[in-house]
Structure formats: structure tokens, C-alpha cells
Structure 1
Amino acid sequence: MKVSVIISNYNYARYLPTAIDSVLTQTYPNFEIIIVDDGSKDNSREVIAQLQQTAPDKIKAIYQPNQGQGAAFNTGFEAASGDVIAFLDADDVWQPQKLQRIVEEFNRSDVIGVMHLLNNIDGNGNVVNGGSTVGQLLDDNLAQVIVDTGNAWCFPPTSGLAYRRKALEKIFPIDCSKWRLCADGCLIYCTAFLGKVKTLNEVLGSYRIHGANHYINYSTNKSEEAQALAGIEMTNRYINEFLEQIGHPYRVNLSRNLQYRRTNYYRRGKWNTKEVIAISNLILGWRFYSLWERIYYLMRFWMKSIRLLAHPDVSVNETAA
């Protein structure tokens, strides 16, 4: 079983050697590396050329004008020849057994995707946040999770994703105007409705947190908050359009999305009894909260809501204490 490793790169020349080396040292030998440089302005082209010299039979480089991650994924997928497509961000790294482990799972004919956990590391490769992992262990019916939560759940980022080529053929090419950023979300949400996606309770790589990579340290000023809500809405439309396209009976409803609904309520800044009850029920039933977390977030939500009732002109946001 051949694995195509797609690496989209934009101005990450300083991290590329480590990322590439983590693939070249895999215990599983049957792979190819496709680097799509998306119009980098640093010395990425020079670095890629040097890396190709070390493994010319393994590394293929494609250069294109800057178009975003979605377009880079499209280019990489078109060039890939593997039975399995694995994605690696240019600033992340894999552990040596990563490909071996996912291939073992893909040897089961009913599995169309494999996800795994990732450590958080800093720019120097040191584990941060107490070694906490990105993502959550889920059952194989990922489609039901997406429907139940209105597409609100914490999934592994790009470097923890791999899919069977035949499944991705139903998704690619993706709309690169809508998925210029965070194109991994498109893959995760759409593949979930095509078959069994296995989540491994294993750390098989590391997600690098650094100055140019701020998504994990998301702050909610009004502009970013509005962009986040617009992104959720776009994602929801995209999922449902895809489901209609493939004739799937499920549809995803944002009324079940706790993050979206709670943030919208705070932004409106006005007490609404019906909405308070509905959001409270979502918190109490949220499958990713422990019992104590449900109690904590319910109390927190009610304290903020009471502030709105008592002082309707006071601005309340998701990050307020």
C-alpha cells in the first residue's frame, strides 16, 4: 500500500527540513512526498531543492502562485499516486511509526480515514502545555458526532489526518475560494459521511505553535469573533451542499452548535429566556464536557446571562470572566 504525503508550504523554510526528515525516517518505506510550495517569499525554494537532492526518488516539488491551503491541497492531490493520502503541515513533525500505524488501520477494508493525536510543541521543538494533545478520541461514527454537535468539536489538525484515495476522489477538487485557510476542516467534515473514520488514541506527531501560527491561541475581539461565526456558517453550508450532492440523508443544523449559538447570544447582548433555556440544555448535554465541566459552564453562562438581564447595555463576550 503506497502512501502519498502531501505537504503544503508557505514561508516555512526554517521548519521544512525537520518536517521532511520526519517522513524520510519512517519505519514504513512505501511512500512519496509531494511538496506544494504556495508562492513562498522566503528561501523555501532553495531549501526544497536541497532536500530533493537527499532523496530524489521520494520527493516531488511543485511550485505555484500563492492561492491558499485549499488550492495547495488540490495541486498535491492531483499529483499524488498513493492508495492513501496523508497530510503534513510544513511546520509539524511525525513520529517514526506514524505511517506504519495508519497503514495497519487502512488494511481493514471498511476504514476510509484515520486520525490521531498530536503533541503541542514550540518553535524549538519543545513540548508545551504539559504535553497536551490536540484532538479528542471519538468512536468510528464521526458523521453522527458532527450531526449531534452541529459541526462543533475539537478535531486533530492537518498533520493528524490520512484518507483512502477513493474517498477523497469524491471530495476533490475542493472549493479553494472558500477553503483558502483551514482546508483540513473540509476534509474532516466531508469524509465523515463517506465511511468509517478511525481515531487512534496515540500521539503520532507534533503540532508546532509559533508566532506565525496563531490559530490555536485564538483571541476573540469583535472582528475575529465575527469571522469565526462566518466561518462556521460557511462550513455548515458546505457540508450540507456536499451531503445533498452525494445523496446522503443527514443534514447538519447550527442550532446544535454550542459555540455558535452561545457566541451569537452574547453578541446580541440582550436577555432571551427561550435562548437561555436552549443553550443551557446544550451545555448539559454536551458530549465533550465532563459532569463538572457541564456544571461549571452552565454556572458561567447563567452568570453572564444575568448580567445581561440586569445591565442590558453591558457588553458580554465569550471570554469574559
Structure 2
Amino acid sequence: MTTLSVVMATFRGARWLPEQLASIARQTRRPDELVVSDDGSDDATPAVLADFARWAPFPVRILDGPRAGLADNFRHALEASRGDVIAWSDQDDIWLPAKLERCLDTLAGTGADLVHHAARVVDADAESLGFNHPDPRRTICLDPLQGDPWHVASGFATVFRRRLLDDLRHGRGLDRVAWDTRPNSHQTLRAMHHDHVVALIAFARGRRCELAEELALYRQHGANAAGAPTVRGAAAWWGALSIGADEFAIRADAARGYGVWLQSIGVSSGGYFERLARRWDRRAETYRDTDGATLGVRVTRGLGVLARRATGDHDYAATDRGGMGVAALAKDALATVIGTQA
């Protein structure tokens, strides 16, 4: 029988924690354990956890956290868990009753190693804000190195098999060497969080499924450690137009760092991330070479962008096939002609 651990990190979460704990207790498939690492909360969080542990319909273990930040707090709880399947849990969300059951069914039915589901974004009072995050529009399963390499499966909406972390170069799980040498995230430019680490390993070596079903309420209350995007739609597109060579170079460096780290822990990507880095290097070079150039040079560069697409170069393949997408093609063709701002 597959065993399931819910792994939670807490810090000053007393206001929101009771609702999340109650939603875990209401699951149609209850976890076999809840492991909580509390990072030195000085509010009522320890009391809330202790009270829940007394009546919870499954074992609850409460650990003293390492007091080294969110990611280390999650890793601490993960290392203490025993389940074959792990469900990350934040302290301030609300899980819908079928979350664990649907995720386990998906893992079993597809042979996947990681499942990532949609969630409804709500305010502090759990009232809908009218959009989802994550927001997969269809249910899809992907094999290793398929899909968008920049997509990070949000922890609170992720359930994964522990075997993803087995047989790494330094032993079972994320040992200190693997953890302390993890690369910087392309999102934050700081060491990757727990969920990004697992998402990257899953991208390189696992089968992943995205579920279009809403299985949680993702609460936004102004003090989230991480939150849903605040810029969407037309504003996001407009913001993307100001991104230029420097940002593309950062993305190239991130891809290279991902590949090097994966190789260091014994996960081969067959050169995938080096090729990805070169793709973004080319994009950065195109923008730098165009900036300040004459109109004739810019037009030539723009035609070159279109030619790479026309001749089958995969720079502009769909993002779910590892490319940069049609939107990037349009931006690059336009920006190279009118000149860049980078």
C-alpha cells in the first residue's frame, strides 16, 4: 500500500493554520502522517499544532525547525517524513476535500512521479479573486525533458513520489551537498526553494502530470512568503516588451546552472540545459547587436529572427516543447527592427 506524508513548514501562522489543518483532516484520502517543522514561531502556532495533534485522525509529528528560512524548514520536515508520496503544504491555504485522493489516483493511473493541480486564488477571508494560480488549462502528462523548462510547480499544489529523490549521487534524498550547492532560481536569482528543487529534478528525470481541476484555495493575505502573480493579462504583455538582453543573459546563466547542478547530483539531461542556455545566449546577442544600430542593420536582424523560425530552428517552438513561443518571435522581430531598450 502506498503511504502518504503531508510535509508542512510553519512560522507565525496561527491566524491561518486552523483552517488549513482542518482541511487536511477532511480529506477523502487522509494522509498517513503529517510532519510539521516550526521555525521558532513566537505566536500561537505551537499551541495550534499541539492541539491539532491531540485530535487529528492521523499521526502528527512536530519538529523544531532549523531557523534558516522557508526552504530549509521544508527540507527539514521532508527529511523526517516516511511516506512513499509527499504532499507539500503551506500553512495558510485551504485544501478541497478530494485533493489528496485525486492526486494519488493520478499518480497511480498515469505512472507519474509528480502531479501539479490548479488552485483558486482567494483573499484573506477565502473569497475568490476571480483567477487561478496555478492555472493549467487542460490535464496533460509529460515525460522527462518535455514541456516548459521554466515552469516551476508551486509547492502547495504539488504531490510527488519520494523515488524522484532516490539514487542521487550522494545517496538517498537531498543530502547537504546536493542542498547546499543547489543553483539560483531564474525567478528570484537566489538559491532555489524546496518546490523548485523537486520540480527541476522531476523535469529532468520524472513523468509529470498537470491537473486542470481546482483542488485548493490559494490564500493571498499580504504576508505570504510567496504569492500569486499580481501582474496579468495585458499588463504582463506590456511589461514583457521592456525585457531585453540583460534579462535574456540571466536566463541563459540559469539554464547553464541547472544543467551543471543536475549533473553534479547524478541526474543526466543529455545536454538539454546547455542547448537551452545557448538559445537564450543567442537571443541576448541579437538584442545587444541591434541596440544603437542603423535601420538597415536592425531590419537585417529582424529578418534573421524570422528566418530562424522559417528554417525550422527551434528557438521559437511552443513553450510546452521547450521553445520560447510565438510571442517571443513577434517581440524579437519587432524589437530588432525598432531598436531595443536593453
Q: Same fold (TM over 0.5)?
A: yes
Give, in whole Å, the separation in 2 of the partners of 1:50 and 1:263.
55
Give, in whole Å, the separation in 1 of the partners of 2:47 and 2:197.
31
Radius of gyration: which is bigger? 2
Give, in whole Å, the separation in 1 of the partners of 2:205 and 2:195.
16
| Cα displacement (A) at 1:202 | 1.5
Structure 2 counterparts to residues 238-249 of structure 1, below 5 A: 238-243=258-263, 245-246=265-266, 248-249=268-269
Does structure 2 conserve the Cα–Cα contact (< 8 Å) formed by 1:114 and 1:198?
yes
Partner of 1:11: 12
Partner of 2:257: 237
Q: Does 1:270 align with 2:271?
A: no
Give per-residue Cα distances to partners, 1:48-105, cap 9 Å, x unaligned: 2232233284321112242123322321122111121111111222110111112223
Shift of the 187–138 alpha-carbon distance from structure 1 to 2, 3 Å rule, reads farther
- 3-state SS, counterpart of residue 28 of structure 2: coil
Q: Does 1:184 align with 2:195?
A: yes
Q: Any gaps of 5 or more consecutive residues in structure 1?
A: 310-314, 317-321
Does structure 2 conserve the Cα–Cα contact (< 8 Å) formed by 1:190 and 1:239?
no
Shift of the 303–183 alpha-carbon distance from structure 1 to 2, 3 Å rule, reads same
- 3-state SS, counterpart of residue 172 of structure 1: coil
Partner of 1:172: 174
Partner of 1:197: 208
Does structure 2 conserve the Cα–Cα contact (< 8 Å) formed by 1:40 and 1:66?
no
| Cα displacement (A) at 1:166 | 2.1
Shift of the 16–232 alpha-carbon distance from structure 1 to 2, 3 Å rule, reads farther
- 3-state SS, counterpart of residue 128 of structure 2: coil
- Which segment is superposed worse, 186-195 or 132-141? 132-141
The sequence identity of aligned pairs, in percent, is 21
Give, in whole Å, the separation in 2 of the partners of 1:299 and 1:124.
41
| Cα displacement (A) at 1:302 | 4.5
- For these two proteins, the number of residue pairs brought into alignment is 299
Shift of the 172–135 alpha-carbon distance from structure 1 to 2, 3 Å rule, reads farther
Give, in whole Å, the separation in 2 of the partners of 1:68 and 1:37.
11
Give, in whole Å, the separation in 2 of the partners of 1:212 and 1:267.
39
Give, in whole Å, the separation in 1 of the partners of 2:38 and 2:288.
39
Partner of 2:339: 308
Q: Any gaps of 5 or more consecutive residues in structure 2?
A: 185-190, 232-238
| Cα displacement (A) at 1:188 | 0.7
Does structure 1 conserve the Cα–Cα contact (< 8 Å) formed by 2:10 and 2:90?
yes
Shift of the 34–249 alpha-carbon distance from structure 1 to 2, 3 Å rule, reads closer
Shift of the 83–72 alpha-carbon distance from structure 1 to 2, 3 Å rule, reads same
Partner of 1:312: none
Alignment RMSD: 3.9
Partner of 1:287: 319
Give, in whole Å, the separation in 2 of the partners of 1:218 and 1:266.
28
Give, in whole Å, the separation in 1 of the partners of 2:41 and 2:250.
28
Partner of 1:131: 131
Partner of 2:90: 89
Shift of the 211–95 alpha-carbon distance from structure 1 to 2, 3 Å rule, reads same
- Equivalent AA in structure 2 for residue 132 of structure 1: N
Does structure 2 conserve the Cα–Cα contact (< 8 Å) formed by 1:70 and 1:183?
yes
| Cα displacement (A) at 1:270 | 2.1
Shift of the 185–27 alpha-carbon distance from structure 1 to 2, 3 Å rule, reads same
Give per-residue Cα distances to partners, 1:211-235, cap 9 Å, x unaligned: 1235433688x9xx98997687456
Partner of 1:319: none
Give, in whole Å, the separation in 2 of the partners of 1:21 and 1:267.
54
- 3-state SS, counterpart of residue 145 of structure 2: helix
| Cα displacement (A) at 1:31 | 2.3
